[in-house]
Amino acid sequence: MKLPLKTSFAAMEAKAVDRLPSGEGWQFEPKWDGFRCVAFRDGDEVDLRSKSGQPLARYFPEIVRGLLAAKGGATQFVLDGEIVVPVAGELSFDFLLQRIHPAASRAEKLARETPACFIVFDLLVDERGNDVSVLPLRERRRKLDRFFKKALARNAHFQLSPCTEDRSVAQEWLNGRIGTDGVVAKRIDEPYHGGDRLAMQKIKRMRTADCVVGGFRYASKGKLVGSLLLGLYDDDGLLHHCGFTSSFTEAERAPVTAIVEKLMRSTGKGTGFSGRAPGPSRWSTERTGEWVPLPPVLVCEVQYDHWSDQRFRHGTKLLRWRPDKAPRQCTFDQVLGKRLKRRSSNGKTRGATAA
C-alpha cells in the first residue's frame, strides 16, 4: 500500500508504570530526553511532526537535509524517533529548547553550532512506500535495522536507538546514566498503535540527591514558602544553584516556613550561593521573582527524574531533612554518575548509544 506524505501518523503513546514489566514478549529501549518526532519523506518533500502534531522541520534544517540525503534509493518513508542535541557528550535539553525560534537564520546558525541528532526507533513506512506499521514490532525492528544500515548509517545526524528483549539489560539502562530519563517497554507482537497507549509503557528513572538549601522564595500569596532553592558544591568549594523544590502539601508548607524563618532569625540573612545564583522564577510575579538567601547550613534530600546542564531540569520532590549530612558533602559527584558503556553486539542489544 503506497502512502503519500500527507498521510498522518499519530505518535504511539506510553502508559506510565512504576517498574519494568516482567515475562516474555517485551522489547525495551532507552527513553531519550528530547523532542518526539515522526519524520516523513516523499520524494523531495520532508516533514517533521511533534507528538502533538506540530511542525518541526523549520527548526531542524540539518535533519531535513539528512533525510533528503538518505542512501539506497530510500525516497518515500516514515520514521518514529526522538530529536536530541548532544553537547560535550551529554544531551542538552536547554540547547534543544533554543531551537524553537521563529527566525530561519537563527535555526541555521544553531544547526551549525550545536547540530541535532535524530535517534530512530521505529519504521512505519519503508523505503518503497509500503505501510509496515501494521506489522508486529519484532518485524518492524528487523526492517528498521536493515533500512537504517542502508539509508542513514553514515549520516552523523542520525543514530539507531538500541533495543533489547533482555530485562536485565533494561534494568542496567534504568539504573545507569546514558543521557536518558528512563526506559520504554513495547509489546513485540503488536502493530504500531498511533495515538494510544495499548502497547507501550514508560518507566522513568527517579533518583535522589542531598542538596544545600541556599535560599527560598515566598509563595505569590500569603506568608508561606513557595519553593526552596537548592545548591551543590563544585570542586572549588563554590555553591551553585541547581534547581528548586516546591512539592509541599498545604499541611507541610507551614512547618517548612517555620524552619527557614527560624534559621533567618538565628543567623540573619545568609550569603546564599557563592557560585551560580538563581535567575527569575519561570512563574515569577513581582513578588516571586525575588528570593531570600540563607546561610548554607540546611541540607535536604530530594527526588529528581532528570539532570542536565548543571541543574535539575524539573522541580524536585522534597523527601526529608538531612541534619546528619554536612553541607560540603553535597557535591555534584552525586549526579554526575558513571556512563553506561557501549555493549558489544551479542544478539541481545542492537543499535548505538547517542554520543
Strands (E), 109-206: 117-125, 158-160, 163-164, 180-187, 200-204
CA distances from 273 to 186, 242, 266, 312 (A): 44, 10, 19, 16
Distance CA 137, CA 191 (A): 6
Among the four given CATH numbers 3.40.50.300, 3.40.50.1390, 3.30.460.10, 3.30.470.30, the one describing domain 15-204:
3.30.470.30
Return the domain boundaries, the chain: 15-204, 207-334
Q: What is the mean pLDDT of residues 291-305?
A: 92
Q: What is the mean pLDDT of the chain?
A: 86
- Catalytic positions, written as ranges: 31
Q: Taking the alpha carbons of 320, 323, 324, 328 in that order, is the dihedral positive or negative?
A: positive
Asked if 313 and 307 touch (Cβ cutoff 8 Å), the reply is yes
Check residues 70 and 52 and name the one with the higher pLDDT.
70
Poorest-confidence range of 87-96, 139-148, 193-202, 229-238? 87-96
Which tens digit of pLDDT belongs to each residue from 68-91?
999 999 999 999 999 999 998 888
Rounded to whole angstroms, the Cα distance separating 76 from 40 reads: 8
Q: Which fold has domain 207-334?
A: OB fold (Dihydrolipoamide Acetyltransferase, E2P) (2.40.50)
Query: Predicted confidence band at 340 (pLDDT cuts at 50, 70, 90)?
Result: very low
Highest mean pLDDT among 10-19, 154-163, 180-189: 154-163
- For residues 170 and 20, the answer to whether their CB atoms sit within 8 Å is yes
CA 108 to CA 124: how far, in whole Å?
A: 28
> Could you tell me which of 52, 75, 91 has the C-alpha nearest to residue 3?
75
